[in-house]
Structure 1
């Protein structure tokens, strides 16, 4: 990158954002996820322009974009979660699916890593498996906008909860790895989650209190800065930082439920609702920009040489069969019918990359190829794209089949209406 003019970098950044916007339009029309197009364009740009990156070059940009993107994506999802009685059953189902899928996928892949890669202890295999076991909300949320409301909401809940549970599982395992006994680890995990929840609620009340009273025109990015600060400080103190972001977003969106009784007098609803509209818009816009650059940079980092390795292809095939087989069985038992395309929507993405490179040096596996990460992201995204396109075409076909019937019904209705008018006119003449 030495010797490259700042103007060229800005031109490139502007083109990437414009192209990403066009990809979003294409995604809405075709249901092909925009992230596949972004990753592909990043890879093509690297090949055409002759960029030569190694891991050290792109790890820091990916990590920074990943952290900011993670906070924004979870916040965006949390601000869309309405805690209503009719939603509780769906949230409970999403929590069960995300938890069962996470733990099953982790142990399934850990077994596969030990078998296909070889000479790996059980703990290291689990640590490597967790990032690949998480469904990426960064890919799911923008991709399912064309689905019916109930299916879309379920997938948003499931992917967001999968992110949160996966990150908590990953860091709690690393932070308690030297503890003696499962009981001690369990106590630490429960106390960590409990302490984080209490702190999250208190911070959320304090931030909403400040949120509604700051009169300055420049305040929305101030809150983003505070949220990033809270997230990073929480990580330094080994707290479940993502849970704090989720709690803040949920309390802000459902403030009337949390500001009850004597707390009501501390909520200035008019001020909050007025600012919240802009806050949601900026969150969505910022999430779009960060997500765009993250997946484009990920495309720049891809090397196909590490993908077409026999053991990587076999491990990926084994994992994909296990993941989708388990999801099919789980969805069939829980929902019995109408579970397509949901069971095929389980992409890997931002979280997988972010956690993959957060694995401590002492647990790094020299023989573990990055191709498994790349291939998992590509394959799961392609499967999701096929499912969404197939579902869209199926719904369009059903609409076309129903249209002639609707026309007949309409004609029958009109003819009956004409008969009624004629009858009324005859009665009037008489």
Structure 2
């Protein structure tokens, strides 16, 4: 039996990052999400470890920590891309509506499918399991839509970011409802009504988000020595963790910080204008872009590789998994088609196919408390949905790229014919 030491782990980590970089380049050329290649790499490593008879490792604690940090970095990265301008109000509102309604309708449809097809599942527990399966994955979407038109790319960045944040808040709201209906008999504390708890949490989170964002951004304009960017990221992670312990909605803090950093001139107006040092702020913003992009890349890489290491591929062949998963897929794309036709119109390709599930789906699934877990729900459903939606998105992007290239092949010929015709007409005019 082969034994791994620290140097083997260092080599493995470096090779995984190198392969992830190559996967990203392949994804840019083929529109096949790098996430699928990373999960596949994890599965290959899993079987390689079994062949070498290395004892199984419990990856869940590592997966949870990496996933939380990855979630923070991905939301921050997305927020730093959101420009709040008058000409973008329409796409922001449209993406917010599609994300919110898509999340709610997909949740209700998925909960119904899980409730009726999985035994011993009550309605609210079905909703708890359905919520992660209803959330779009910004971790997959944002790196995958770079080749689309600017308008479509912006729509997907906004939509996936809104879906992440609203979906996480909705998950913990459903969990609060279940806890409210099933109070702990040993606990003496009174559980607050879920609606009241949700409202207070949202309001307090928004207040903390704006106060913390203004203070941090003002202070870090003057911090230049040492690893100040990692210090800033550490403070944001600290705020997220404390907010989560206090039952707030800490992703709002991350989102607001990123939006204020990106749109500083909009938020530093009137009396606040004197606290904005434009040149220093621009340097800080550029540095934040770089560190969030690099950090999100590394964290995303290890999260999906470790996820691939921990999954059981044989579950995909289970009949009940196939039955539930195919029904869920049908509901996902039927609801998406309806909403896009209402809010966007006829031009809904490839947007209709861009509905992958990923990092947050996995994170929230593992966040379901053990006392509310249902053993009849097979994790293979999760894996099937993640892989299927990613493959469907890949097909949609590849098909869209092929179709959009057709005019590029025809236009030069048409243009050449027009030039020849114009030259002939000019020559005839001269002869006349």
TM-score normalised per structure 1? 0.93
Equivalent positions of 1:53-92 (< 5 A) are 57-92=58-93
- Between the two proteins, the alignment pairs up a number of residues equal to 420
Out of 241, 248, 265, the residue aligned to residue 257 of structure 2 is 248
Q: State the distance in 1 between where 2:41 and 2:224 align.
A: 43
Q: 1:78 deviation in Å? A: 0.3
Question: CA 1:413–1:312 in 2, change beyond 3 Å: closer, same or farther?
Answer: same
Q: State the distance in 1 between where 2:244 and 2:415 align.
A: 57
Q: 1:185 deviation in Å? A: 2.9
Find out whether 1:372 has 2:373 as its counterpart: no
Find out whether 1:104 has 2:113 as its counterpart: no
Identify unmatched segments of 5+ residues in structure 2. 182-191
Deviates more, 1:403-412 or 1:294-303: 403-412
- Deviations along 1:148-179, one digit per CA (max 9) or x if unpaired, are 11111101111110000000011123235444
Equivalent positions of 1:354-365 (< 5 A) are 354-365=363-374
Matching residue of 1:288: 297
Q: 1:193 deviation in Å? A: 1.0
Q: 1:415 deviation in Å? A: 7.5
Equivalent positions of 1:10-49 (< 5 A) are 10-49=10-49
Out of 220, 235, 243, the residue aligned to residue 244 of structure 2 is 235
Out of 212, 223, 227, the residue aligned to residue 214 of structure 1 is 223
Q: State the distance in 1 between where 2:365 and 2:62 align.
A: 14
Question: CA 1:313–1:268 in 2, change beyond 3 Å: closer, same or farther?
Answer: same
Out of 156, 179, 194, the residue aligned to residue 185 of structure 1 is 194
Matching residue of 2:188: none
**Secondary structure of residue in 1 paired with 2:58:** helix
- Deviations along 1:159-212, one digit per CA (max 9) or x if unpaired, are 1100000000111232354447xx943333222211111110011000111110
Equivalent positions of 1:386-405 (< 5 A) are 386-405=395-414
Q: State the distance in 2 between where 1:410 and 1:277 align.
A: 46
Matching residue of 1:194: 203
Contact 1:193 1:240 in 2 (8 A): yes
TM-score normalised per structure 2? 0.92
Contact 1:54 1:301 in 2 (8 A): no
- Deviations along 1:60-107, one digit per CA (max 9) or x if unpaired, are 111111101100000000001000011111111111111111111111
Question: CA 1:255–1:116 in 2, change beyond 3 Å: closer, same or farther?
Answer: same
Equivalent positions of 1:131-146 (< 5 A) are 131-146=132-147
Contact 1:53 1:301 in 2 (8 A): no
Deviates more, 1:52-61 or 1:27-36: 52-61
Matching residue of 1:126: 127
**What's the C-alpha RMSD, in Å, of the aligned pairs?**
2.2
Identify unmatched segments of 5+ residues in structure 1. 424-430
Matching residue of 2:4: 4
**Secondary structure of residue in 2 paired with 1:50:** helix
- Deviations along 1:379-428, one digit per CA (max 9) or x if unpaired, are 000000000000011111222122211233455567789999x99xxxxx
